[in-house]
A and B are shown apart, each in its own frame.
Chain A
């Protein structure tokens, strides 16, 4: 629609998928391990209904456009546009999603890593439609963060998604708006998997449950334990031991993770920001989201106390 309004596209016809039965809903498949989101499910629906099963996707959905856009826009439309700035993309990468596509004669599953083939170009064949997107239900803390020079309704200058898959002992990442396509920060994932190796061994039942938004809210006390300082201030004070970070990762490791994420990006200078700013911002986002995710892990490891600790295992939260 945007291209039509800008006069850049004059398609011979338009196909309205919004009335196709069942397309606007989601379901759990694979014994509750995977969420299958129909191509017609709106961002609003994802925010309202998938906050626990797909917390990072729900967070990304919250940052898309305005309420009107979220009521109409879908992950499938986001994917088919294949913009490097599509807000769902970093999360789909971080979660190892699969795209279910179908043509008149065949259906296939495309791994998200194979989906984005160039700027605004995807692996979709001209006669294929997206039917659904499959995303593993969260099995550990997830984060999505997006930078724009305005506090809402803005295209990302840079964005980052992080998925700590405790059950699978894997780390997933996704970078948006900092390359010709959405990108995965492979070296950063590897580094973090190694750094977290001993943590994965914590009791799985406790860690592998999805963490809803409530569980991700920080209490006053936790923040007090987690004093993040701006680089400049930290450098000046020379007091950056990181000793009080409530995780077994040092501040140095978090910074290394940030640096590796920044390295994985291949941004350009454009009207929305400079390449240098994007790289820098990604390193900060990666470090911060990692700290939040680790804080969530610590929270999960602590004895259950609050109401929000009564998590359901697997995907049964829905």
Chain B
């Protein structure tokens, strides 16, 4: 992909144009808009076969027999594979290998892959799947996480308890006695789906040396590569992954989906194999956000000073752990919210059940705990008779405060500024709902009210989360930058495996090269496993880590070019600067064109960036300096509720967030809007309804995500308090706006209705519960 200087105009300095801090256009923007962009579902290869997966219809069953003979006999079928055919490790996983590539003797969730088929046409492959005979002995599924956390359930790994996280700080028992007022509540959250539009898909191509190339959409090429190679029984260098177009991820493309299956089929048949899940299969093909049950107890003085926070958080991880062990940890780290409180007791449980597996999703556990603590803060404010924003400002965490994990908050913590902006923002006009276009009212185009029953509510919430991987992980990102001359002009190539998942990392890579080297043209080759790892596009870490790597590699390239210039010109390198096509002296006078200096040669350097080291927390009290950095955002939600019909129109969502440095302001706005809307969906409509381990609404007909008519105006304030440890002072952006959006809306709905609303998403029937028999 070539990224040229679309915005460079004559007369402007090349250094400034579309560099860091500019809203440079995305290189993939036009192709994504006009349909020419290649998503992973578009990948094809002459003569490719189609792979289709047979999945378990049962949430829990014993497999007594699998007979593939009829399926194999169908015209056009090239092979049918079961767990026996997995060449290497028969299990894989994110943190630990615990999930079968294809079910072994039992199935533990509805939709678990049992067999895969390759055929000349997808329809033939699907029909072949129907011809595979699987004798199941149906077993009663374990679906209640409260039972699983006892760790005593027969038939579940570890008796059902995947991890118990304990955080103990101060002394809650004596703090309770010293509190003037305590409140307690239980808050539940249903299962959210990442609901990306681009389904799981990819193309596996066998290569001559017995290896395989996999074109796939993913959030982490190298972690995928390790798991795929292990399960294929191949060395890493025989498994090459190439990033294909990712149509959304949100955490749901960290776990493997088509990867191993497509490669197995390709290696067995010697033919390229395409796999594309359809929408229904996709709901079974990726992990979901953990459903949560949280009990929160808060104690405070009469003046509203928090004295203690006690949280019990249960996240159901479903059949396999995926990232549950760390999702629960992250949920617990921030379960006390962005508040300074001296006495904290947090217990978090990640469970196994026969529900669909849950794993990473934008916010990574902190969404659930933010929802719980922010709901509890409003309850406390009500009990104190204090404005909810005032209670938050009184207790907001600041630089130098200590977290429940014992880690001091370093880096900017401008929570007061964030909350003050929301406080001072005028409320949207309370226009007469009857006079407006019906699309602006609850119920939208349904024509259900002309103003009858409508009440307005306002709610606030504040969120905080760690940026980057926590708990002692040595996290790295490598980039290679190469500069050469083409047509008399220097061209920079940035080669980094950082997955572009829609967040715009490719835009940023080019912006950084322009700023660091002054070049106008930047080329971005395919992202693949040919360069060292970048780590996942997750944990709001990729801009930070990739920027560190690209800045570092650009620096090495620049140093070498200046050293060469020093040799050529006989002047000290320190007196010269590299400005795109020219070597200049410090006063800006041109000394030598780079083209002349390099001639046909290129300069290339790789750099591996590491963030500062962290440490794991201790298992007994959860104490330790586990985090790299923290980010903060807050929302004010304004809602109109039809209190007779239980329908909601979110009128406005205002966001204030600190991003350190807005590397690409339009991209930052997009992240804030997207995160806010995803939180809105979780507040009022998005829920995977699971009953007895079965998903009842695996379609976009019944798994509802917000449409443009559900999305309100979103005023925002982007603060730029530079982070001392990061490249350019930037901070992670993608997840924080997803945390506080949901509880802000819940609090606004509570404000409008006076109801407790202990569960998200809020359904229409919850809002009229008092009117129902």
Q: What CA separation (Å) do A284 and B434 show in the bound complex? A: 17
The yes or no answer to B702 lying at the interface (CB within 8 A) is yes
The yes or no answer to B645 lying at the interface (CB within 8 A) is yes
- One digit per residue, 1 when the CB lies within 8 angstroms of any chain A CB and 0 when it does not, for chain B 688-716 equals 01000000110101101011111000000
Q: Which chain A residues in 197-234 approach chain B with CB under 8 Å?
A: 218, 220, 223, 228-233
B529 to chain A, nearest CB (A): 35
Verify B447–A274 contact, CB threshold 8 A.
no
- One digit per residue, 1 when the CB lies within 8 angstroms of any chain A CB and 0 when it does not, for chain B 562-606 equals 000000000000000000000000000000000000000000000
**A223-B434 contact in complex given A271-B702, A280-B768, C-beta closer than 8 Å:** yes
Verify B447–A152 contact, CB threshold 8 A.
no
Q: What CA separation (Å) do A238 and B697 show in the bound complex? A: 42
**A277-B447 contact in complex given A150-B704, A220-B432, A232-B770, C-beta closer than 8 Å:** no
Question: How many chain-A residues does the 8 Å CB contact rule pick out?
Answer: 43
Verify B645–A147 contact, CB threshold 8 A.
yes
- Specify which chain A residues have a CB less than 8 angstroms from the CB of B448 in the assembled complex: 145-147, 285, 288
A61 to chain B, nearest CB (A): 10
- Specify which chain B residues have a CB less than 8 angstroms from the CB of A220 in the assembled complex: 432, 435
Verify B684–A149 contact, CB threshold 8 A.
yes
Q: What CA separation (Å) do A68 and B771 show in the bound complex? A: 37
A234 to chain B, nearest CB (A): 10
Q: What CA separation (Å) do A147 and B661 show in the bound complex? A: 44
Verify B447–A272 contact, CB threshold 8 A.
no
Find A272's partner among B126, B702, B771 (CB 8 Å cutoff): B702
Interface of B is mostly: loop
**A284-B645 contact in complex given A145-B446, A146-B448, A149-B684, C-beta closer than 8 Å:** yes
Verify A145–B764 contact, CB threshold 8 A.
no
Question: How many chain-B residues does the 8 Å CB contact rule pick out?
Answer: 48
The yes or no answer to A144 lying at the interface (CB within 8 A) is yes
Verify A153–B450 contact, CB threshold 8 A.
no
**A147-B443 contact in complex given A157-B764, A274-B765, A281-B764, C-beta closer than 8 Å:** yes
Q: What CA separation (Å) do A285 and B642 show in the bound complex? A: 12
Verify B445–A62 contact, CB threshold 8 A.
yes
Q: Give the residue name and chain of the B residue nearest to A87 (CB).
A: B446
The yes or no answer to B289 lying at the interface (CB within 8 A) is no
Verify A277–B768 contact, CB threshold 8 A.
yes
Verify A150–B697 contact, CB threshold 8 A.
no
Q: Give the residue name and chain of the A residue nearest to B699 (CB).
A: A6
**A63-B446 contact in complex given A149-B685, A157-B764, A277-B768, C-beta closer than 8 Å:** yes
- Specify which chain A residues have a CB less than 8 angstroms from the CB of B699 in the assembled complex: 6
- Specify which chain A residues have a CB less than 8 angstroms from the CB of B646 in the assembled complex: 277, 281
B750 to chain A, nearest CB (A): 15
Q: Give the residue name and chain of the A residue nearest to B650 (CB).
A: A151
Q: Give the residue name and chain of the A residue nearest to B681 (CB).
A: A150
- Specify which chain A residues have a CB less than 8 angstroms from the CB of B451 in the assembled complex: 223, 228
**Extra inter-chain contacts (19) besides given A151-B443, A151-B709, A232-B770, CB under 8 Å:** A6-B280, A7-B278, A63-B446, A145-B443, A147-B443, A150-B706, A151-B649, A152-B707, A153-B709, A154-B704, A155-B701, A218-B434, A230-B644, A271-B689, A272-B702, A273-B763, A273-B764, A276-B772, A277-B765
Name 14 interchain pairs, CB-CB below 8 A, sorted by A.
Answer: A143-B447, A145-B446, A146-B446, A147-B448, A149-B685, A149-B764, A151-B445, A223-B432, A223-B435, A228-B452, A230-B643, A231-B644, A271-B697, A277-B764
**A residues touching B (Cβ–Cβ < 8 Å)?**
5-7, 59, 62-63, 143-157, 159, 218, 220, 223, 228-233, 271-274, 276-277, 280-281, 284-285, 288, 292
